[in-house]
A and B are shown apart, each in its own frame.
Chain A
Amino acid sequence: MTGVRVAGVGLTHFGSHPERTGRDLFAEAALNAREDAGVPLEDVEQLNVGNFAGSLLEGQGHTAPLLAEAAGLDCPATRYEEACASAGVAVREAVRTVRSGEADVVLAGGMERMTNNDTPETTEALAIAADELYEIRAGVTFPGAYALMATAYAEAFGVDEDTLKTDLANVASKNHDNALPNEYAQYQREISVEQALDAPPVAEPLGLFDCCPVTDGASAVVLVSEEYAAANELSADVAVVGTGQGTDRMALQDREYLARTPAADDAAAMAYDDAGIDAADVDLAEVHDCFTIAEVLAIESLGFYEPGEGLGAARRGETRADGDLPINLSGGLKAKGHPVGATGGSQIAEMTRLLRGDHPNSDAVADAEVGVTHNAGGTVASAVVHVLEVAE
């Protein structure tokens, strides 16, 4: 089995770009990734692209050939759809393809165009990641589903409402702080804990600043075999050394736990075993904070905290940029933005930049060697975890 290197990464600005088509967004990210990699067009042997709701949000299905054409690629192309984990799965399958020896160069990433719709239409489109019969028809929205998880968490671990809201506000404030210098981020501005607490409610106990924004954007990464990188003298010092995926029951009501995310536990265990590491080896992580409570559940599933202990991590400073285990130095979904089908690829791109040293927040993790990405679909019925390392 050959090793996998990240030869190049590319992003668009994440933000409100309602006039930009999905094909244009992805073309920009793919072009940026190829330029960063220094890999010629004709060497790309496969395209794996994540997209969640283009069929609803852009009236566009059959996305992969369209995005291959937009990126100038003439190779087999496949769209992966696993809700908000779509690009994470696209990357994971690219890693497996390169490892198997079937291809030396795979371009993976994702795209979502969202702000061309009104908020109600977007809310409805995103809700299809939940169980249509048993959740959507019972009025469950995604903020609502995560709010249910938040109240179940507080109940399970004996947390009062003020502590819950304050600790979650600290997650939001931290991630906005991290996004400040990130030129790709949707919100390069601070928010205080007080501002987050005073924001209007979306689905109680979650307020507006507990929720990631609606975002247009695309991501791309060029994954190559170690042999290809060496033969072509590529600068590709970050390796993907672990990949894992987990699945849970679709509807919250059918889960063993309402306040834990076992699919992510499973994905992490698989990825750590694949990489030959454990949670204590991890120096930093990019996690799927679509809502503030989701970051808490993620850092518990990744083994950084015991269940019930992750809530206060941001407030205690442990997961801040100057803490022992910085989480979401990119700004996370909360402040960097969440173009749903692009997010899993964006996490790989941001982690690569952080480990290479060319991210504006790289100084916070100058000695870091191991980074983890955590990408979740729905209320974590799907989860994908990757382990990236600075190659020796």
Chain B
Amino acid sequence: MSDAGFDEWLHAFAADEGYYVECENGHGHLPPRRVCPDCGSTEFAEEPLPETGTVAAVTTVHVPAPSFQADAPYDTVVAEFGAVRLTGVVDAEPGAVEIGDAVEPDVGASETTGDDVLVLRPL
């Protein structure tokens, strides 16, 4: 089953064409969006995401959900990419990133399920 809006957004990272959606008043969000939760605008355009982001929060997960059982332990981070933040699994050894580090997004796969996962790779 596909998730329209999200799947295209995720797979764009594989082609180095990551994007976010911006309303006519400059509020950045992740798709799918019909209404801007900041201002109510219904006019959106795709904008290229900055190639690198900055880690704003990080945790090393030791007790995962079943869908990440074989991946644990792993780091999950929230990283700032200009007008939006992204949450992803770090493509590196646990504990390798700190707040303030630069990361770049890509599409990876869960070791447990093989499902596509947004990964953030330290530079």
Task: Tell whether, in the assembled complex, residue B65 and residue A136 are in contact, meaning their CB atoms are under 8 Å apart.
Answer: yes
Q: Does A335 contact B (CB under 8 A)?
A: no
Please give, as numbers and ranges, the residues of chain B lying within 8 Å of A144 by CB-CB distance: 59, 61, 76
Please give, as numbers and ranges, the residues of chain A lying within 8 Å of B49 by CB-CB distance: none
Q: Does A347 contact B (CB under 8 A)?
A: no
Task: Tell whether, in the assembled complex, residue B59 and residue A203 are in contact, meaning their CB atoms are under 8 Å apart.
Answer: yes
Partner of B86, one of A123, A201, A253: A253
Which of B11-19, B40-48, B67-75 contacts the other chain?
Answer: B67-75
Bound: A280/B77 CA distance, A: 37
Encoded as 1 (CB less than 8 Å from any A CB) or 0, chain B from 92 to 123 comes to: 00010001000000000010000101100000
Task: Tell whether, in the assembled complex, residue A152 and residue B30 are in contact, meaning their CB atoms are under 8 Å apart.
Answer: no
Encoded as 1 (CB less than 8 Å from any A CB) or 0, chain B from 52 to 73 comes to: 0000111111111111110100
Bound: A251/B85 CA distance, A: 10
A residues contacting the other copy or chain, number (CB 8 A): 37
Task: Tell whether, in the assembled complex, residue A138 and residue B65 are in contact, meaning their CB atoms are under 8 Å apart.
Answer: no
Instruction: Identify which of B60, B62, B85, B89 gathers the most chain A CB atoms within 10 Å of its CB.
Output: B62
Task: Tell whether, in the assembled complex, residue A252 and residue B69 are in contact, meaning their CB atoms are under 8 Å apart.
Answer: no
Encoded as 1 (CB less than 8 Å from any A CB) or 0, chain B from 18 to 57 comes to: 0000000000011000000100000000000000000011
Q: Report the nearest B residue to A258, measured CB to CB.
A: B57
Partner of B118, one of A138, A149, A152, A155: A138
Q: Does A40 contact B (CB under 8 A)?
A: no
Task: Tell whether, in the assembled complex, residue A141 and residue B63 are in contact, meaning their CB atoms are under 8 Å apart.
Answer: yes
Q: How far is the CB of A266 from chain B (nearest CB, A)?
A: 15
Please give, as numbers and ranges, the residues of chain B lying within 8 Å of A123 by CB-CB distance: 63-66
Assuming the contacts A121-B66, A133-B6, asked whether A139 and B29 have C-beta atoms less than 8 A apart, the reply is no
Q: How far is the CB of B103 from chain A (nearest CB, A)?
A: 13
Task: Tell whether, in the assembled complex, residue B71 and residue A151 are in contact, meaning their CB atoms are under 8 Å apart.
Answer: no
Assuming the contacts A139-B89, A152-B57, A155-B99, asked whether A253 and B78 have C-beta atoms less than 8 A apart, the reply is yes
Partner of B117, one of A124, A138, A151, A201: A138
Q: Does A157 contact B (CB under 8 A)?
A: no
Task: Tell whether, in the assembled complex, residue A120 and residue B66 are in contact, meaning their CB atoms are under 8 Å apart.
Answer: yes
Bound: A202/B59 CA distance, A: 10
Please give, as numbers and ranges, the residues of chain A lying within 8 Å of B99 by CB-CB distance: 151-152, 155
Task: Tell whether, in the assembled complex, residue B59 and residue A147 are in contact, meaning their CB atoms are under 8 Å apart.
Answer: yes
Bound: A36/B97 CA distance, A: 54
Task: Tell whether, in the assembled complex, residue A258 and residue B60 are in contact, meaning their CB atoms are under 8 Å apart.
Answer: no
Please give, as numbers and ranges, the residues of chain B lying within 8 Å of A147 by CB-CB distance: 59, 61
Task: Tell whether, in the assembled complex, residue B3 and residue A133 are in contact, meaning their CB atoms are under 8 Å apart.
Answer: yes
Task: Tell whether, in the assembled complex, residue B66 and residue A203 are in contact, meaning their CB atoms are under 8 Å apart.
Answer: no
Q: Does A137 contact B (CB under 8 A)?
A: yes
Q: Report the nearest A residue to B62, measured CB to CB.
A: A201
Assuming the contacts A138-B88, A138-B117, A253-B86, asked whether A148 and B57 have C-beta atoms less than 8 A apart, the reply is yes
Please give, as numbers and ranges, the residues of chain A lying within 8 Å of B64 by CB-CB distance: 120, 123, 139, 141
Partner of A151, one of B6, B58, B62, B66: B58
Please give, as numbers and ranges, the residues of chain A lying within 8 Å of B86 by CB-CB distance: 253
Assuming the contacts A144-B61, A203-B61, asked whether A124 and B66 have C-beta atoms less than 8 A apart, the reply is yes
In chain B between 77 and 93, which residues have their CB closer than 8 angstroms to a CB of chain A?
77-78, 84-89
Please give, as numbers and ranges, the residues of chain A lying within 8 Å of B60 by CB-CB distance: 201, 203-204
Task: Tell whether, in the assembled complex, residue A127 and residue B65 are in contact, meaning their CB atoms are under 8 Å apart.
Answer: yes
Assuming the contacts A137-B117, A151-B57, A151-B59, asked whether A251 and B66 have C-beta atoms less than 8 A apart, the reply is no
Task: Tell whether, in the assembled complex, residue A254 and residue B29 are in contact, meaning their CB atoms are under 8 Å apart.
Answer: yes
Task: Tell whether, in the assembled complex, residue B67 and residue A124 are in contact, meaning their CB atoms are under 8 Å apart.
Answer: yes
Instruction: Identify which of B71, B76, B88 gathers the most chain A CB atoms within 10 Å of its CB.
Output: B76
Q: Does A135 contact B (CB under 8 A)?
A: yes
Bound: A134/B7 CA distance, A: 11
Assuming the contacts A138-B117, A151-B99, A252-B87, asked whether A258 and B65 have C-beta atoms less than 8 A apart, the reply is no
In chain A between 302 and 359, which residues have their CB closer than 8 angstroms to a CB of chain B?
none
Bound: A148/B99 CA distance, A: 10
Q: Does A249 contact B (CB under 8 A)?
A: yes
Q: List 5 A-B contacts (CB under 8 A).
A: A134-B30, A139-B61, A143-B63, A202-B62, A258-B78
Given A139-B74, A144-B76, 19 more contacts at CB 8 Å? Answer: A123-B65, A138-B88, A139-B71, A140-B87, A141-B61, A143-B61, A144-B59, A144-B61, A147-B59, A148-B59, A152-B57, A152-B99, A201-B62, A203-B60, A203-B63, A204-B62, A252-B57, A253-B86, A258-B78
Sort A-B residue pairs by CB-CB distance and give the 10 closest, nearest first: A147-B59, A253-B85, A148-B57, A152-B57, A204-B60, A124-B65, A120-B66, A138-B87, A203-B59, A139-B89
